[in-house]
Amino acid sequence: MKRQLALARDHGDGDDALIPGIPHDLALLCLARLPSRSQAKHRCVSVLWKQALESRTLSSLRLQLNILETHILLCFMSPSSCPQRSLSWWVIDPICVRYYPIMHASLPLNGNGFRSIASTTPGQVLFLEHFHFTRFDLFRRQNVWPCPPPLLTSRSGFASAAFDGHVYVAGGYIYNDYTLVYIAGGYIHGGRAQRYQFNNNNRGPLRSVERLDCTGMSKWERLPDMQYGRAGAAAVAMDGKLYAIGGGQHEESECSGEVWDPKKQEWLLVPQLWPSQVFGHSTAKVVVVMGRLLAIKEPANEIMVYEVATGLWKSIGCVPLGTFCSADAVNSLFFCRLFGVGNELWVLVQSELSDDLLDQDHVDGDGIWIEQRELATQDVFFLACMPFSGGLLAWRRLPYCFDGSFRLLSSATIPI
């Protein structure tokens, strides 16, 4: 932060002062604390304010002061019964407690080979369509340049996370070079015992990792390989390190995780980071809340917290879906996705009908193979709790509802 403020002092005072009578570095700190919802009108105060509010210096200050707000970007695909499949985009603003659709010609219109990836640049998200990236600004509602170049290794089913000024991409499969293989065993949310995995024409999942510097958006940098190949893994940033969890092709790698230390420039293998005796063969669904790792244990929808000191997962409660669902949906199958919003855990819930209405196999925007079903009329909704407030988890339903006939294709948590 001292370096950022030292650069700010070069502007001096006088006619170019942001706030007359106040040193430039203090004025920048004042602007950095303005809530995101008011920045649009404050840009109209003067040219200097507009330049300051859009500057990278201010974004860096907000990040270092830990006052960045979080918005959630959701992408839904229309049901197969629609004559023409299309995508719909929604943004959730937790601070203002509102949600709204985004309609713009530059947004992807179909879900073929599509993926949304969070960026470290406030208010921006990366869209990957097949081989090409675009960069979209949620406030301006338009593409911004420069756009990132293609990945060094074109891949699908990879894990991604954004932190420390970089976007990380780990594992996956060579793009368009895999098939879906049925495997006996496992489960899907209380349905018949079955699961699927990728078959990459005997090549196996990738061990390679790359990262993009979000400052220049000019090139991807190859990092040391992970110890195991992983596809469909979960990736989160915690304590200045990158965690790649699950996604292996055999027991040893499926139950493990790896931690990237940027300072040491190496991967550390954590053998039982996703133990099968706890989570079975389910896909890792992990999020960080208040600097701690949380996961959901399916099909019981049990919330687990990872104790770093002991290397064990501990149950802290369950998601009471029956309490918040309609009577006709209590016995339905459920798909859940986790989000960390401040000191709260948010769970997106989408109900599905029984197996006899199986439609077709489908891979979602985050590279996870799922069964595509005709959805029940139950809305897509959010539940929230404060997992570390002490005592039992107190869940509440949030005022965000979406059409249950639309499939959630992809999501991203965007710093603002």
Whole-number Å distance between alpha carbons of 123 and 106: 16
Separation of CA 345 from chain center: 13
Question: Helix 24-32 crosses helix 56-64 at what angle (to 10 degrees)?
Answer: 70
Specify the pLDDT at position 12.
Answer: 46
Of the chain, the percentage scoring pLDDT greater than 90 comes to 40
Q: Quick check: 244 pLDDT over 50? A: yes
Whole-number Å distance between alpha carbons of 115 and 365: 5
Fill in the amino acid letter for 321.
L
Confidence of residue 364 (pLDDT cuts 50, 70, 90): very low
User: Mean of the pLDDT values across residues 268-281?
Assistant: 92
* Length of the chain in terms of residues written: 416
Q: Quick check: 196 pLDDT over 60? A: no
Angle CA 205–207–208, to nearest 5: 120
Residues 6+ apart with CB under 8 A from 144: 124, 135, 136, 137
Looking at residue 225, the DSSP 8-state letter turns out to be: P
Whole-number Å distance between alpha carbons of 92 and 76: 14
Confidence of residue 183 (pLDDT cuts 50, 70, 90): very low
Residues 6+ apart with CB under 8 A from 172: 155, 156, 157, 158, 159, 205, 206, 230, 231, 367
Q: Between 14 and 66, where is the model more confident? A: 66
Identify the helix (H) or strand (E) that includes residue 266: strand 266-270
Does residue 55 sit in helix, strand or coil?
coil
Confidence of residue 378 (pLDDT cuts 50, 70, 90): low
The closest alpha carbon to 70, from 31, 125, 29, 142, belongs to: 125
Whole-number Å distance between alpha carbons of 69 and 373: 35
* Residues 291-323 pLDDT 10s: 999 999 988 899 999 999 999 999 999 999 888
Angle CA 55–168–336, to nearest 5: 100
Fill in the amino acid letter for 80.
S
User: Mean of the pLDDT values across residues 2-27?
Assistant: 66
Whole-number Å distance between alpha carbons of 181 and 201: 11
User: Mean of the pLDDT values across residues 379-407?
Assistant: 92
Whole-number Å distance between alpha carbons of 262 and 238: 12
Kindly report whether the global pTM for this prediction surpasses the value 0.85.
Answer: no
Whole-number Å distance between alpha carbons of 115 and 64: 28
Whole-number Å distance between alpha carbons of 209 and 153: 9
Q: For the sheet containing 209-213, what is the strand order?
A: 159-163, 166-170, 209-213, 220-223
- Tokens 């300051």 sit on residue: 52
User: Mean of the pLDDT values across residues 286-293?
Assistant: 95
Of the chain, the percentage scoring pLDDT greater than 70 comes to 78
Residue ranges of the alpha helices (H) in 166-274?
Answer: 251-254
Question: Domains along the chain?
Answer: 2-64 (no CATH), 70-415 (2.120.10.80)
* Residues 113-140 pLDDT 10s: 678 888 888 788 999 887 789 998 887 7
